[in-house]
A and B are shown apart, each in its own frame.
Chain A
Amino acid sequence: MKGTQLGEFEEIVLLAAAILQDEAYGYAISKEVAEQTGRAVSLSAIHSALHRLEKKGFLVSHLAGATTQRGGKRRRFFAMTAAGKAALQEARQLRQRMWARVPVVVWETN
């Protein structure tokens, strides 16, 4: 299927969602990503990525849990699907494969 490549940012967002498990909603994910990457990241970018990931079938979402903390607005929680898991693993394997092919020399000089 076309369009099921994981972009770099999407990968990070997906990982963040996986990390956060039941707490994986938009703002929390964005905080996690910002923390990990050390860069400020816009909510819109996160939401956009989450949306894309869901369309690709790597995440499923549901609306739940209105709290007064958010002014009564419910949150949308994202959970990783099997496909998402597979995509992450494949990405990781790709990295590892290619890393393994890099001659040791490169890592040792400079």
Chain B
Amino acid sequence: MKHSSPQPPAWALRLLRWYCNPELLEEIQGDLYEAFIERIEQRGLRYARRHYVGDVLRFIRPFAQESRRTPYRPARRAELLRNYVRLSARYLLKHPGFFVINVLGLAVGIATCLAIMHHVRFELSYDAFHQYSDRLYRVSATLYTPESVDRLAPTAYGVGPSLQEELPEVVAAVRLVPTMAVVKDKEGTLFNEETFFQADPAIFRVFTYPLLAGDPTTALVAPHSVVLSQTLAKKYFGAVNPASLIGTSLLVNQQPHTITGVTKDIPQNSDLRFDALLSWEYDPNEWLEIGSFTYLLLKDAESANVVQEKLRVFDEQQVNPRIRQAWGADNISMSHALLPITELHYTTNLLGDTEDKGNRTYVYIFALVAACILSVACINYVNLSIAQAVRRTTEVGVAKAMGASQLQLWTQYMSECFITTLLAVVFALGLVLLAGQHVADLLGERITWLTLTQSGGLYTVLGILTLVSILAGSYPALMLSAAHPVRALRGGSLLAHRRGRLRKVLIVMQFAVAISIVASTLVVRNQLAYMRHKDLGFRQDQILAIGIPDDSAAKQKTQILKHTLQQDTRVAGVTVGSRPDALWSLSAFSVTAQGKTRHLSVKGINVDRDYLEVLDLPLVVGRNFSPMTSDAMAPNQVIVNEAFVREVGWNEPVGQEMVFSDTDVKVVVGVVQDFHYASLHRRIEPLILFYDTSVPVNLLVQVAPNDTEVIRAAWADIFPDFPLEFGFLDEAFEQKYRIEWRMLTLFDYFSGLSIFIACLGLLSLTAFTVQQKTQEIGIRKVMGAGRVAILYLLSREFGWLLLLSIIIATPLAYVAIRFWLQNFAYRTPIGGTVFLLSAGGVTLLALVTLSYHTLRAAAANPVDTLRHE
């Protein structure tokens, strides 16, 4: 009427087009249109349009969306999957070389990743095993004196109970005091124990330390009770049923104690680890002595902020008055802060804290390394698969011609990857579990089946499985399944448009990573060698340090011991004095330099006259201590080190005075040359040597390691009630670099690994290139090219890639190395040799890898290669 042909409502048409299966669309649309036209004739346009819409709507039925063709739909999903698996397995078994390299490469990468992730999880889970870990906090104290500000891990004894009383948010407070203990078992064997703690009885209520025997509510209530750990119980009593030990007596610090409980060993991922707990027997001056770790259990996790606020008030009103009274000084104050228990492992800035702290940065670095290694392994898989892909174009062509859809092909190739990955994961798990002990040495904890599966370990494994499958499999699968069937069947390469650029990028990355890691390893090695051989400025070898026990007559007995030992010809020297690396106390005093008076706080150790000689510490200026003729002569001589003089700014150090208090003035008699009394991580700081043997801490004996019998004999006479404990200084100093040694071993491993993987990748790439160029090689040989020329031809390409890797790797590695070396105040210089060696070494290995395939190709008879078109 209006137009040449009347039209049904356009929107209805659109709707129809949208939901209807295109196969059915045409006929339905046609029929509807016919009906439409007829209806116009019958009842007019408007009627027709209305009914058209109605019809369209009524066509919204399932059948309209179905396919007309008998669809290729499997009867059951499981069947389909089985089929893919069968296909994949068949392919993989037919190409064992490819399969093995892939599984191996992936397995090694996954194993490393697993081990690292395990370690990372472990490190990040410190103290999370407590039931109330989200509400447990430790109180740290900061002491403000006119001379210094000290942040301390322990608090005054009175803080805990006071807080519990004052603040309703604090449900319970538990104090733990490290206590040196000498234990004598029933056979009379003496043990020196350093991991005993006195604890409030509430400890079992607050923390999760399950008891194997004994009653947690009463275990530490009675005085002179002791709760042993499983291991300790075994050490003293052998393998007996823990329950039977309850009530037994044990001599601790010469006082009989009753065993009231046996706990399960404290997990390794715990900041505070104890071997035994003693009931509270110390009667401390609550506010004078700062010696207990104080833990608080809060009402709920949100109270932390409230408590923190209230602590400020508490400090002002309760703490400060009390400590000022106890210390007899008005110009000191203390403040307290809360630390969540899970953070304790990483808190390194407090004095008097537990040992074995972790470093968050290292943990993250490790996680990063794990990711890198996994990526590299995946990259290899991708590379290898792509190289293989070329050979499979025919297969894809046929499949598509037979009607396979891209999705199906993609799924099939993904399943191949999945199977490979699955096998690799299984293999990797095996590797990791078998190497358990080795790993324990490296990372600090042992990986067992148990530890792998707990706290989401299984999820990690599954996650890795999925991630790797997807990452490594998607691209090759995609590439393969997208092949144009005609082109593929005709034999053209489906990579025609890529020129393998992606692959080249990946190879460059792999080698860059390998070179960086090797360079870093060399530097770590260098630094450790440097530290080992660096002259520390004093004699460490053959110096034995003996711990003097806390005996009432220690002072005299030590002197006797010293004399006894000095008589023996095998002993070259004996001195009473703290080990140079002992925990020093800070001494506060004031000095006058260049007309100005300053207050300083400096580390000091107590020594006797023979110290300088035994440790071979040269004096720069001045003299050694003059002998004390009587006890009455207050030890007022000190020797300081050069750093001290520099810090204070004296021109003439000898004879200068240091004022410690009104009655305590000391005189500098000599200056000793700077020596590294701490680890090489730190700069040499000012040090004071006090001439003081009133409370001897160590006896340092210069003796050969074979002759320690002398000491044992002498000791048994003089300190019969105390076990002898000693250690050689050089060993002790080595221990300080334990972390770095571990790192070195790890880096060695990573170097090997990354080179292995990179070369694996290179291997696959060369295989591919060689194959592509078989004809070219054949022709060249016919034309008279020698083997070396062929090698050169094939390696030229890789030469550039390698060069690129080196260029990328060097600055990156340099930056990383510098960053790490900042941990050390004394470091080896980063020489160019390191980079030359690493680049050179890697290049050499790469060449070897290259030559494997290329030489084979170069040696092939051109007749054969050219025959197969």
Contact = CB atoms under 8 A, between A and B. Distances in A.
B26 interface: yes
Contacts of B26: 63, 73-74, 76
B58 A26 contact: no
A51 B63 CA distance: 8
B40 to A, nearest CB: 13
Nearest to A29: B31
B33 interface: yes
Nearest to B70: A55
B662 interface: no
A56 interface: no
Per DSSP, chain A at the interface is: helix
Given A44-B58, A63-B27, A75-B27, A70 B33 contact: yes
Contacts of A30: 31, 35
Contacts of A75: 27, 30-31
B161 to A, nearest CB: 82
Interface in B332-364: none
A23 B66 CA distance: 25
A76 B27 contact: yes
Nearest to B8: A71
B61 A44 contact: yes
Given A27-B35, A71-B5, A43 B59 contact: yes
B59 A47 contact: yes
A73 B59 contact: no
Contact of B55 (A43, A48, A71, A76): A43
Interface string B833-863: 0000000000000000000000000000000
Contact of B28 (A47, A52, A71): A47
B53 to A, nearest CB: 13
Nearest to B32: A43
Nearest to B54: A42
Contact of A26 (B5, B28, B61, B68): B28
A109 interface: no
Contacts of A69: 34, 37
A25 B28 CA distance: 10
Contacts of B31: 25-27, 30, 43, 47, 70, 75
B164 interface: no
B775 interface: no
Contacts of B58: 42-45
- Greatest chain A CB density within 10 A among B30, B35, B68 is at B30
Interface in A34-74: 42-45, 47-48, 51-52, 54, 63, 69-71, 73-74
B558 to A, nearest CB: 101
Contacts of B64: 44, 47
Given A73-B29, A74-B26, A42 B55 contact: yes
A42 B31 CA distance: 11
A43 B63 CA distance: 13
Interface residues of A, number: 21
A25 B24 CA distance: 13
Interface string B537-560: 000000000000000000000000
Nearest to A52: B63
Interface string B19-59: 00000101111111111010000000000000000010011
Contacts of A71: 5, 29-30, 33
A97 B668 CA distance: 131
Nearest to A45: B58
A5 to B, nearest CB: 18
Given A42-B58, A63-B27, A74-B26, A27 B63 contact: no
Contacts of B55: 42-44
A74 to B, nearest CB: 6
A66 to B, nearest CB: 9
B45 to A, nearest CB: 16
A10 to B, nearest CB: 13
Interface string B722-755: 0000000000000000000000000000000000
B437 to A, nearest CB: 64
Contacts of B63: 47-48, 51-52
Interface string A71-96: 10111100000000000000000000
B34 A27 contact: yes
Contacts of B66: 51
A70 B59 CA distance: 18
B651 to A, nearest CB: 109
Interface in B275-313: none
B580 to A, nearest CB: 93
Contact of A25 (B27, B29, B32, B68): B27
A70 B61 contact: no
A70 B30 contact: yes
Nearest to A77: B27
A71 B36 CA distance: 11
Nearest to A73: B30
B556 to A, nearest CB: 106
B33 A26 contact: no
A79 to B, nearest CB: 15
Contact of B27 (A26, A42, A44): A26
Given A48-B61, A48-B63, A71-B5, A43 B35 contact: yes
A63 B23 CA distance: 10
Interface of A: 25-27, 30, 42-45, 47-48, 51-52, 54, 63, 69-71, 73-76
Given A47-B31, A74-B26, 19 more contacts: A25-B31, A26-B27, A26-B28, A26-B30, A27-B30, A27-B34, A43-B55, A44-B58, A44-B61, A48-B63, A51-B68, A54-B68, A63-B26, A63-B27, A69-B37, A70-B31, A70-B34, A73-B33, A75-B30
23 contacts: A26-B27, A26-B30, A26-B31, A27-B31, A30-B31, A30-B35, A42-B55, A43-B28, A43-B31, A43-B35, A44-B59, A47-B24, A47-B59, A51-B24, A69-B34, A70-B30, A70-B33, A71-B5, A71-B29, A73-B27, A74-B30, A75-B30, A76-B27
Interface of B: 5, 24, 26-35, 37, 55, 58-59, 61, 63-64, 66, 68
